[in-house]
Amino acid sequence: MRKRISTYQEDLIEALKDPREAAAYLSAAIEDGDREVFLLALRNVAEARGGMAALARRAHMNRESLYRMLSSRGNPEIKSILVLLSSMKLKVRIEPERKTARPAKRKTAAPAHAA
């Protein structure tokens, strides 16, 4: 009997069933700054959460509209994204950027006074 080898996509979908993994994955996708990357990530999380039809039902959306919205050419409104995330039991959180370490200030010698 041969052992079945899983694909990257199958492993990814399995991992995204964990809400923490899904949240980290979507956060990384949004930080990438590319709309298509984020929409692909949303599609992957939707698949892990039961598929597009199930997500459309939970979000009270039309399935075809959801497919269009999350397509590579989709341009969803923030309200739609928030509804989708909520239906997947996820939410958006805004945080301040991490501060980068500042270079240490150099001490300058006090000016010498003329005597």
Task: Give the pLDDT confidence of 43-80 residue by residue, as tens digits.
Answer: 999 999 999 999 999 999 999 999 999 988 888 999 99
Whole-angstrom distance, CA of residue 33 vs CA of residue 66 = 21
Task: Give the pLDDT confidence of 33-50 residue by residue, as tens digits.
Answer: 899 999 999 999 999 999
Please state, rounded to an integer, the average pLDDT across all residues of the chain. 86
Residue 76 tokens read as: 């969803």
Q: What pLDDT is stored for residue 106 in this prediction?
A: 60
Whole-angstrom distance, CA of residue 49 vs CA of residue 104 = 48
Cα dihedral 65, 70, 74, 75, rounded to 10, equals: 90
Percent of the chain past pLDDT 70, that is, above it, reads: 83
pTM of the model: 0.74
For the chain, report the end-to-end CA distance as a whole number of angstroms.
Answer: 96
Return the domain boundaries, the chain.
8-87
